[in-house]
Chain A
Amino acid sequence: MSPPGERPTQVADPVAAAIDRAFRDERAAVLATLIRQVGDFQLAEDAVQDAFLSAVGAWRRDGVPANPGAWITVAARRKAIDRVRKDRSLADRVERLAELVRLDAQEEPSVSEAGPIVDDRLRLIFTCCHPALDLSAQVALTLRVLGGLSTGEIARAFLVGEPTMGKRIVRAKRKIADAHIPYRVPTEDQLPDRLRGVLRVVYLIFNEGYAASEGDRLVREELCSEAIRLELLMCRLMPDDAEVWGLLALMLLHDARREARVDAAGRYVPLEHQDQSLWDRDQIANGLRSLERAARLRRPGEYQLQAAITALHLQAPDSGGTDWAQVAALYGELLKLSPSPVVELNYAAAVGFAAGPEAGLALLEPLLDVPALAGYQPLYAAHADLLRRTGDAAGAAGAYERAIALSANAVERTELERRLRVLTAG
């Protein structure tokens, strides 16, 4: 079984810093290539882990190498050779060993292999996000293998015990091996579906960090950063896909407001009351640039539409200045592309601002009977706001109480309670 694979976390010194940097910047690429060469996830992961551990001693003794990534690549391959030599249970041990030894004899890492050069990390992403794996396993495996998060960190982020998360990851790796889930970028006909699957996993990781329904805030923020890092990698690997840029734009624009979403007392601050000086302007600019880049590819999609909606909110000069007609129009487009009760709810709320609360209510009230939204707190919060604006204080109070009862987030609940108090006081 694999070592727990904790991230090297020494005190700040040059060698530790170099190892940390190599771990962050090079590990996924080294691992991805080694998985292709040895044909085994677990073996490759163990060998890369061994290589990082041996780097600690070697780099202290001999100094940090000029190219740490290349050093780790060679060390990991030799560790893999050691492991394959010792492990007599491997079915095709002799062939694997011969291939590894051949690669090791080459002076430079080979870049002249047949066919177009595909970054191994792209194969790795598609394998980790294969639909034959359970979605929770796809998320865990992506974070573990590509993000380099430890099993313990992932367990804490998803509020499950470390043994449970460990089992989930081991089981996923075993299924990849036993069922022969391929290690390659999907063929042309499968690519659109499979790419959607990858983006869904990345966005799920982001949302887990962003929504923060409960749990450790620091770990949650790390999930947001990790999702953005993964998406930046996707943009480098698949720069011709509009939705890849659309999702990057969406996450950057959301994440830019991270500091402003909670006040000094830890309370949730709704968008219209956020201190705009706390918004990360550089990140917003990056998000808008990504959105423009997506738009130039002329293939609209749901992430681009959501990013465009978020951009409209951010570009409003003040809380009353949002172009709600445009927001409603974009939600209308989104409904056509990917209809869902949640999008219908957002559409209703936007229409409520663009065309008045009565128009919004007419769209929202049928949603109260949709089973998929039963217990969905934002539905009742939006219902309450619309009722309040039509002057139906009693109805609004009932809806606020329902939303408060359903809220799992303390800061959000505090805000809803404040609105209810304002309502009943007035």
Chain B
Amino acid sequence: MPNYMLLLYSAEVDEAGQAERDAEMPEWLAIGERLEGAGLLVANARLHPVAAATTVRVREGATEVFDGPFAVTKEILVGYYLLNCSDLDEALGQAARLPLARYGSVEVRPVMDIPTPGPVAAQPA
């Protein structure tokens, strides 16, 4: 069976909007359980908002680190790594070693730490 990546996009919302979305939680949990039960789920996670994003590029051998998400629309998402690192410096260091960092950009987004019993539920970022 081939693997598929589902990329979840949505607008960031204010606190009130977030409360509304948090109310969807049971629905997300149920979906997680169903996918897990059907043997379809490989991994999923909720990301911190873009305010916590850092973008890494390597140009002419020098690592360039920027605050914020990757914002050039000409480049497309081509893959992902989910890494377990001790802190941002380690994650940035690993990102800078990817060959793609030399011609593309790597956006490093922390995954939210959600203490949930059972399967981890995905939520729109």
On chain A, which size bracket covers the interface? 10 to 19
DSSP class of A's interface residues: helix, strand, loop or mixed?
A: loop
Interface size on B, residues (CB 8 A): 20
CB distance from A36 to the nearest CB of B (A): 14
Task: Select which of A91, A133, A137, A186 is within 8 A of B89 by beta carbon.
Answer: A186
* B92 interface residue (CB < 8 Å to A): yes
A137 to B52, CA, bound (A): 13
For the residues of B in contact with A, the DSSP-based class is mixed
Is A63 part of the binding interface, using a Cβ–Cβ cutoff of 8 Å? no
> Contacts A91-B113, A186-B89, A190-B89 hold; do A178 and B52 have CB atoms under 8 A apart?
yes
- Kindly state whether residue B67 has any CB partner on chain A within 8 Å: yes
Q: How many A-B residue pairs have CB under 8 A?
A: 46
Q: Tell me if B52 and A174 are in contact (CB < 8 A).
A: yes
Task: Give 1 or 0 for each of B27-60: 1 = CB within 8 Å of chain A CB.
Answer: 0000000000000000000001001111000000
- Expressed in whole angstroms, the Cα–Cα distance for A104 and B82 within the complex equals 39
A180 with B51: CB separation less than 8 A: no
Q: Determine if B52 and A134 form an interchain contact, defined as CB atoms under 8 angstroms apart.
A: no
Do A181 and B88 touch across chains, with their CB atoms under 8 A apart?
yes
Contact partners of B52 in chain A: CB under 8 A: 174-175, 178-179
Residue of A130, A180, A190 most packed against chain B (CB within 10 A): A180
Q: Is B68 an interface residue (CB 8 A)?
A: yes
State the CA gap A170–B113 with chains docked (Å): 21
Check if A60 is an interface residue, CB within 8 A of chain B: no
In the complex, chain A residues whose CB is within 8 Å of the CB of B88? 130, 132, 179-182
Q: What are 5 A-B pairs at a CB distance below 8 A?
A: A133-B67, A180-B88, A182-B86, A182-B87, A190-B93
Nearest 5 pairs of A and B residues by beta carbon = A178-B52, A131-B65, A182-B87, A134-B67, A132-B54
Q: A residues engaging B (CB < 8 A)?
A: 91, 130-134, 137, 171, 174-175, 178-182, 186, 190, 193
